Structure 1
Amino acid sequence: MKYCENILETIGHTPLVKLHRVTAELPCTVLAKVEFFNPGNSIKDRMALKMVEEAEKKGYLKPGGTIIEGTSGNTGMGLALAAVIKGYKCIFTTTDKQSKEKVDILKAVGAEVIVCPTNVLPDDPKSYYSVSRRLSTEVPNSFYVNQYDNLANRDAHYEQTGPEIWEQTGGKITHLVVATGTGGTITGTGKFLKEKNPDIQVWAIDSYGSLLKKFFETGELDMNEVYPYITEGIGEDFVPQNYDMSVIDHFEKVTDKDGAVMARRIAKEEGIFVGYSAGSAIAGLVQLKSRLKPDAVVVVIFHDHGSRYVGKVYNDQWMMERGFLDVKTVKDIVNSRRNLPLVTIAPDEKVTGAIAKMKKFDIEHLPVIKDDKFVGAISEGGLFSKLIDQPDLKEAAVETVMHKAFPVVSMETPIEKLSVYINKENGAVLTHDESGNYHIVTKYDIIQALGS
């Protein structure tokens, strides 16, 4: 029989997957190291287990002890899995910018989670770094992991991730691209690969709001570089000891929007449901396309799984609220047309009058108005079917053939949401601008907008 003794034995040996559509504009081969195949769905399982095992060897972590760590979620998951198997407790601190899914997942595997504010300096007593350090002095028989300065972090990738990539590419890798935070993955993996071939380029992807890029380029810790950003799991407001900047050849910054949009593209176009940092990594690589040659073999680390970001990156409303989706709205349709007045008809006018207006203005739909209120509507399709059965209706009043009034929607309504209102029975909606002028939006308008 072939089986694993426990879940920890499934860590590592993750696949390389060739990318096609999201890297179509690049001249070379791009391979994703898909780390969500680890049991905790992220690359952090590797270093989490390594740090626990090293702490056990050195006597820092004793039977029945408590593991304490500040984490954006993924390291916590790896530590929690190790704790479950080895019989430890876990207390994790995290920031309020992390997705709710990450917090819920940590709790699901038995961890206690304390959420701390993001927008404070690392040495602020309320920061998740400070709170985790303080707890390690207060909780008996506890071990503060400190993934940022614990060199077992980068050792895990030197021993595992680097050798795997070298073997999987047959030594043909030319570039390693990592969206980097603690520095463990890029330093450990990059060090191993450069020992095999010093010409391999190691590129770090950073976030705007992080000081890592400027520190790499100048050696200066410039706190003016630091400001709040949304991207999770990458960038720092200090330099962890896991960094060996001599291993890295270039730092590239990526915006919150570009990373989020690219993550969604990877899911939709490659079928790989990735986390936020994978989007940042590919977006950064695309920005660097002029540095790539046709014979390059690029390996990009895909750190974690998209399920951790369902409430954020993969939530349309969250994306729209931050301006990350270039969503067309009803307002875009109205603004794209000539500023023509809304054509309406009264309920006591004859059907022949409605037909004449439709012909004159080349329209299919007419709102019916009485006393400045929309009381109904008529449509060319509905009139046609009724007149075929009852030709005499053309002399009847509009109110005898009208259907219910068109729905009124906000100008900010995304076009994609109009399917709730526009259907087989109802062919249009109404909206009004800031001046109170009403406009009509039809199925044809939507088709035109989506096709443009």
Structure 2
Amino acid sequence: MANVLRNSVRRFATTAARAATAETVNTYGIRVSQAQGVVDTLVGAIGNTPLIKLKKLSAETGCNILGKAEFQNPGGSIKDRAALYVVKDAEERGLLKPGGTVVEGTAGNTGIGLAHVCRAKGYKLVIYMPNTQSQGKIDLLRLLGAEVYPVPAVAWENSENYNWQAKRHAERLQKEDPEHGAVWTNQFDNIANRRAHIETTGPEIWAQTIGKVDAFTCATGTGGTLAGVTRFLKDVSDGRVKSFLADPPGSVLHSYISSGGQLKERSGGSITEGIGQGRVTDNLENEVKELDGSLFISDEKSIAMVYRCLDEEGLYLGASSALNVVAAKEVAEKLGPNHTVVTMLCDGAYRYADRLFSDKWLQSKNLRQAIPKHLEKYIVLP
């Protein structure tokens, strides 16, 4: 009996010691884990991404430059948030019923986000995309269960643009199967996209910085992220937080904002994907006048930052994320030391590695010389 008692006491003491040690060595991790708890499905894991301090750039500018690690979303990008909310919006409005179909026109990460969300929720997914996209992207969407239609790449104004074809497809399905429903989620002008960032991304940034964020910047494609985060941060801070658009070559938004809405100048194209725009979308329209300015970011700056982030921070980022980091650095320099600037690390470089780290591709884009000499070691592909 005495031995049993001693063993019980020993086990209790050992268990308590282990718990105490775990809390001591991983206090932050345990606190985050307790807050996250257990989510019912994949969609519950969307969002709540960490802010990562970019130490080298922060030291250079005297500011806290923070990147929101959106590549940690289940689908690997920030577009998981928009995907979830456009589907939620269709459910709330009764347009989508169990077994229904989601249809979208997308050339990139929104399609991947929708594929994950639709699989988790039991919906069918149809994607229209320009036939200029890589076979790898088409294969990935099909692997995730989507029905994919690559169509000729034509301008937005053309009725055969992939977005309008997606809309017509959804309308046909709705007539054929009203019992289950079909919806064109229309990511560019569906303000449920913007709502995702008002309700999730913006509040997360405010909470993570304990309200000490001074500025936010990011590029825009649909406009949802920039508009939603701007709206929330402006409201919660009574206008104190500044917001800046970052724009690549080939987009009209920098000229539109810097000219006070007078110009829509477009020149050249960009290596970045999913950002830049030829118009002000419905997602962006209400917030465009709230912006405190815009920055034009060249491809040379973006590609150099891809390599800098990998070398200095261990962050393996796509070109759009790198563009955002360049913009955050320039906003920090504009504001001066002792400010906190937040941007979005939209996705990783995994889907773009065959280009971003290819000597041949860099040469073809006249970007080889933009890579600093000491970083050329990362050009590992022919």
- Shorter-chain TM-score range: 0.7 to 0.9
SS, match of residue 41 in structure 1: coil
After superposition, the Cα gap between the structure-2 partners of 1:34 and 1:229, relative to the gap in structure 1 and judged at 3 Å, is: same
* Equivalent residues in 2 for 1:27-426, closer than 5 Å: 27-96=62-131, 98=133, 100-118=135-153, 120-140=154-174, 141-197=181-237, 198-216=239-257, 217-220=259-262, 222=264, 224-225=265-266, 227-243=268-284, 244-326=287-369
Alpha carbons of structure 1 residues 102 and 174: separation in structure 2 relative to 1, 3 Å: farther
Contact 1:92 1:132 in 2 (8 A): yes
The change in CA–CA distance for 1:152 and 1:258 in structure 2 (over 3 A counts) is same
How much does 1:97 deviate?
5.3
Distance 2:167 2:355 in 1: 29
User: Larger radius of gyration, structure 1 or 2?
Assistant: 1
Asked if the contact 1:99–1:309 (Cα under 8 Å) also holds between the matched residues in 2, the reply is no
CA contact (8 A) 2:328 2:341 kept: no
CA distance in 1, matches of 2:166, 2:59: 44
The equivalent of 1:9 in structure 2 is 44
Aligned AA for 1:16?
Answer: L
Q: Read off the aligned partner of 1:264 and give its amino acid letter.
A: Y
- After superposition, the C-alpha distances for 1:295-346 in whole angstroms (9 at most, x for unaligned) are 1001111111211212222333222221212289xxxxxxxxxxxxxxxxxx
Alignment check: 8 A CA contact 1:99 1:312 kept: no
User: CA offset at residue 228 of structure 1?
Assistant: 3.8
CA-CA distance at 1:257 after TM superposition = 3.1
How far apart, CA to CA, are the structure 2 residues paired with 1:278 and 1:178? 9
Task: State the match for 1:338 in structure 2.
Answer: none
Post-superposition CA distance 1:3-32 (Å, at most 9, x none): 332111111110011102355532311011
| Residue 265 (structure 1) shift | 2.1
Task: Give runs of ≥4 in structure 1 deviating > 4 Å.
Answer: 96-101, 414-417
3-state SS of paired residue (2:369): coil
TM-score relative to the length of structure 1: 0.68
Counterpart-to-counterpart distance in 1, 2:52 and 2:87: 30
Aligned residue number for residue 20 of structure 1: 55
Runs of 5+ in structure 1 lacking a partner?
329-413, 421-452
Q: Matched residue of 1:92: which SS?
A: strand
Label 1:265 to 1:95 Cα distance change in 2 as closer, same or farther (>3 A): farther
Equivalent position SS for 2:251: coil
State the AA in 1 paired with 2:164.
S
Whether the 8 Å CA contact 1:99–1:311 is kept in 2: the answer is: no
Distance (Å, rounded) in 1 between the aligned partners of 2:196 and 2:354: 31
Aligned length: 332
Percentage of pairs with the same residue: 37
TM-score, length-scaled by structure 2 = 0.80
Residues 97 and 264 of structure 1: is their aligned pair in 2 closer, same or farther, counting only changes over 3 Å?
farther
Letter in 2 for 1:316: D
* Aligned partner letter, 1:219: G
Amino acid at match of 2:222: T
Higher RCO, Cα 8 Å, sep 6+: 2
Structure 1 partner of 2:25 = none
* Greater mean alpha carbon deviation, residues 80-89 or residues 259-268: 259-268
What code does the residue aligned with 1:214 have?
S
User: RMSD between aligned alpha carbons?
Assistant: 2.6
CA contact (8 A) 1:35 1:301 kept: yes
Cα separation, 2, equivalents of 1:415 and 1:289? 29
Determine if contact 1:101/1:307 at 8 Å carries over to the other structure.
no
Structure ranking higher in helix proportion: 2
State the 1:162 CA deviation: 0.6
Distance in structure 2 (CA, Å) of the matches to 1:68 and 1:46: 17
One-letter identity of the residue aligned with 1:25: E
Q: Is 1:98–1:232's contact at 8 Å kept on the other side of the alignment?
A: no
